[in-house]
Chains A and B, each alone.
Chain A
């Protein structure tokens, strides 16, 4: 049986890729195996844990629930895109200072979820942060460090924005 493949084009972290993938190939497998971006992790493969969260055209998406062919033409950001030269993004810095991580496995997904939250709600309340990140699971931290980290990043951003005015 010959397998059919589809040609797709993706822009990931600013780099344009042309690929031929099976229609059934998950976006997360495409990112990890075809593009070598292993920072996006696989936790449950049924859309509950959110570990595989990436941004597709600016919106958080579970890349285990999306086919690569559905992302044809999309612009994607993975965790590798937050700190392309290794300098921590302010969110990553806040996660480090507030210890919003322990084993690090859920962290890339949490960071992208937090990035989206702060873009849409620059100064969220604790309840709003908890509601937003309850989309994803963390088994290590008890979430407190993650909540604190997002608050810290939001406060710093507010200070920077105020200074810029």
Chain B
């Protein structure tokens, strides 16, 4: 497909967000200060599983400066359970009721004159617990007769199902060989540098609850949060805040909002609750999937894949907030960039005594990519095929798009060989192989990794429910308002907040593209939820597609009215009016221009200059719905199109492993991504580099750990290790642009690919480095200890 020449889409425009962020003038949730505002702190359970026998808050209440102390009993009165996207009755209150189900679960909360006093008061709350047996191993927890995390459920195996697509049995029957791997995808955490938090203020006279919180979904989940807070949805107002990073972790934030909201009611004043880092590491909504995979790939003698079986046990922790959504997510691209005619996916969701899962960049597709790419590398090795060659043989061909993958999801467009070729040429693959051979001859363990994987974007909400027989939500809209003011400047209103990326720049570039103006002249604002239009907010790499779609839609509406005004002035027909940098003119006669200032002024304040009957003002609002969502079939043999904007990437890292210490050094990292038309190359490069860095964390450093008693072992940044500038290399990033046929400008989402591909690529690289020892990598993170142990075992086997 030829790329359309564009003026502003695709340009390295400097971000509109930056000046306020660079000068310390942003407005994050913790920056909110209201008159009389109190500060909250939370008492957390030291036990992973225990009955709450008695709570005595009298000493805390007696402390000077304390406004309110609440416990689970108060939570039952002041709130409803937190929003959950599951059908099963897994009930969670913001403060534990009757029993605690993980160490770190909130048991009581205090509002006081400052945070210091609140924490003093927390220390004065006496709780008597009766410890219960602790479940930390999902395989044990799902056994019949195991102690139950939730007494109202039949077992800890909260959900179990197999979905099958295409001819799986035939695919395996005809296979020359079946490649089997048992893999582990461990629990990590998003860990944005800004923790989650909320300021709530309740006005008992009007019944209105005002919220200032870094939740990303102010216009999506507001009505659900209102139910939790026991206020009518029309009386809940969530204000858009600057958000200091999310990576999927700030979708709902029901816990922090409910804690601040309940305390605000009890204290009779505004209350701020900001998590500290321990809260965020042990009790937030950002702990990611925690999976045990048994996977099988059926392969013909020629290396052609004929079938895939995925069986996964997922340790959800104590609650089921997002249900099996991350497995719906994985189904969108379960067969990767490969032609695999059929596959089967079995999921077992298990509850244990750990903090609940939430969402983290990749949302389950990261894990699935790891599983597929590990299988593909294993197939190459077992068949004696080159890792590049086996991928080439199985890639979906560039002329096969739009491509319907076996589960029914549509891959919109792609050119996987082109992406791979660019990655290989950027790397200098053959020279690298030579360098590796020389290094090996010197006894060095240098490895070259390869992963070619999908990065789905723009989710459809069916992924949350098609595992069930019943149907659920079908809308994920995003809206903008667009106006031309009386002095001729464009103003865009968004209904989802700044979540740490570049939404203002995206909408300004789109307005610039539509009207020819400089994007830096566009003003971008955010609206609160009481003034909201339907907007689902960030998630599933959707915002660039959805915001450009909404702006183009709003522009079309605005242009219609502007063209009528300009045509009236120029004595021309509205359909002959075109828009450029200076204003409106008649097509082919660009010397006579009506400036945007003239159009604006007339529209607002010169009624008699307007065409007869025209309403004053110039504003358009547009709600852009998911561009390509189709319903799942009743038998769930075809899930429909639900994640069709399918990006792709090829990563080639080069590593050196020290076999004695197990330390991994990344020598080079090449990444080529195709996420359709690029809106802003610089911000996309930043997304890719940041995503790969999180993938490096996943592959080498980051892991959420609990001991056998369910005690969190990673409650600080001294234990949960984020990569620093010294652990990441300079990334070599390349782009291929295969526009999407379904979106405005051909844009796809590019927010998650770095993290979705890097762990698989690095596992491949380390395995390649240690190939002379016959080491296989089935589990991350590849810590020095783990690798040194694997090397030790290999040497003990005589390698």
Hey, which chain B residues are within 8 Å of A29, CB to CB?
Answer: 115
Among the 9-residue stretches A46-54, A55-63, A153-161, the one with 4 or more Cβ atoms under 8 Å from chain B is A46-54
A51 lies within 8 A of B689 (CB): no
Interface residue count on the B side (C-beta < 8 Å): 60
Question: In the assembled complex, how far is the CB of residue B18 from the closest CB belonging to chain A, in whole angstroms?
Answer: 5
> Is A104 touching B30 in the complex (CB atoms < 8 A)?
no
Contacts of A107 in B (CB 8 A): 21-22
Which of A24, A41, A88, A126 is B23 in contact with, Cβ under 8 Å? A88
Known: A46-B277, A130-B726. A142 touches B18 (CB 8 A): no
> How far is the CB of A51 from the nearest CB of chain B, in Å?
5
Q: For window 20-60 of chain A, which residues contact chain B by CB distance below 8 Å?
A: 22, 24-25, 29, 32-33, 36-46, 48-49, 51
How far is A56 from B500 in the complex, measured between Cα atoms in Å? 29
B193, B686, B730: the one contacting A137 at CB < 8 Å is: B193
Can you name the residue of chain A whose Cβ is closest to the Cβ of B498? A103
Minimum C-beta distance from A118 to chain B (A): 16
Q: Are A141 and B689 in contact (CB under 8 A)?
A: yes
Give the docked Cα–Cα distance between A126 and B725 (Å): 10
Dominant secondary structure of chain A at its interface with chain B: loop
Give residues of chain B (521-559) contacting chain A, Cβ–Cβ below 8 Å: none
Contact of B22 among A33, A95, A147 (CB under 8 A): A95
Instruction: Determine whether the beta carbon of B22 is less than 8 Å from that of A99.
Output: no
What is the CA–CA distance of A41 and B274 in the complex, to the nearest angstrom?
12
Contact B722 A102 (CB under 8 A): no
Given known A-B contacts A103-B501, A105-B194, A140-B690, A92 and B728 have beta carbons under 8 A apart: no
Stretch of B222-230, B237-245, B393-401, B486-494 at the chain-chain interface: B237-245
Chain A proximity of B598: nearest CB distance (Å): 31
Tell me if A15 is interfacial: C-beta within 8 Å of chain B: no
B419 vs chain A, min Cβ distance (A) = 20
CB–CB A140/B277 < 8 A:
no
**Given A22-B116, A105-B245, A137 and B24 touching (CB < 8 A)?**
no
A43 near B64 with CB under 8 A, answer no
A41 lies within 8 A of B724 (CB): no
A79 CB to closest chain B CB, in angstroms?
4
From B19, B245, B727, B730, contact of A140 by CB (8 A):
B245
- A91 to B: closest C-beta gap in Å: 9
B249 vs chain A, min Cβ distance (A)? 10
Chain A residues near B276 (CB-CB < 8 A): 45
B718 and A46 form a contact (CB under 8 A)? yes
Tell me, in angstroms, the Cα distance from A145 to B631 when the chains sit together. 42
Q: Is B25 an interface residue (CB 8 A)?
A: yes
Dominant SS among interface residues on chain B:
loop
Q: How far is the CB of A133 from chain B (nearest CB, A)?
A: 5
B191 in contact (CB, < 8 A) = yes
Residues of B within 8 A of A133 (CB): 724-725
Contact status B116-A140, CB under 8 Å = no
* Interface residue ranges of A111-155 to B (CB < 8 Å): 111, 126, 129-131, 133-134, 136-147
Chain A hits for B71, CB < 8 A: none
Shortest CB distance A90–B (Å): 12
**Contact B716–A46 (Cβ < 8 Å):** yes
Complex: A38 Cα to B64 Cα, angstroms: 27
Q: Are B690 and A139 in contact (CB under 8 A)?
A: yes
Determine whether A97 belongs to the interface, using a CB cutoff of 8 Å to chain B.
Answer: yes
Cβ contacts under 8 Å, A41 to chain B: 28, 30, 193-194, 244
CB distance from B276 to the nearest CB of A (A): 6
Q: Which residues of A contact B194 (CB under 8 A)?
A: 41, 43, 103, 105
Query: Contact string, A65-95, partner B, CB cutoff 8 A, digits 1/0?
Result: 0000000000000111011001010001001
Q: Are A137 and B192 in contact (CB-based, < 8 A)? A: no
Contact A102 B690 (CB under 8 A): yes
A162 is an interface residue with CB less than 8 A from chain B: no
B716-A48 in contact (CB<8A): yes
Assembled-state Cα–Cα distance A108/B694 (Å): 21
B24-79 residues at the A interface, CB under 8 angstroms: 24-26, 28, 30-31, 33, 64
Given contacts A46-B277, A130-B725, A137-B724, contact A104 B191 (CB under 8 A): no
Contact yes or no, A103 B717, CB < 8 A: no
Which of A's residues lie within 8 Å of B, judged by CB? Answer: 1, 22, 24-25, 29, 32-33, 36-46, 48-49, 51, 78-80, 82-83, 86, 88, 92, 95-97, 99, 101-108, 111, 126, 129-131, 133-134, 136-147
29 pairs, CB–CB < 8 Å, chain A vs chain B:
A22-B116, A32-B30, A33-B33, A38-B31, A41-B30, A41-B244, A42-B274, A45-B276, A49-B717, A51-B193, A79-B22, A86-B23, A92-B23, A95-B22, A99-B683, A101-B22, A102-B687, A103-B193, A103-B243, A103-B245, A103-B500, A104-B242, A105-B193, A107-B21, A131-B726, A137-B722, A139-B192, A142-B731, A146-B725
6 additional A-B pairs beyond A39-B26, A99-B682, A137-B193, beta carbons within 8 Å, are A38-B31, A108-B24, A142-B686, A144-B685, A144-B728, A147-B725
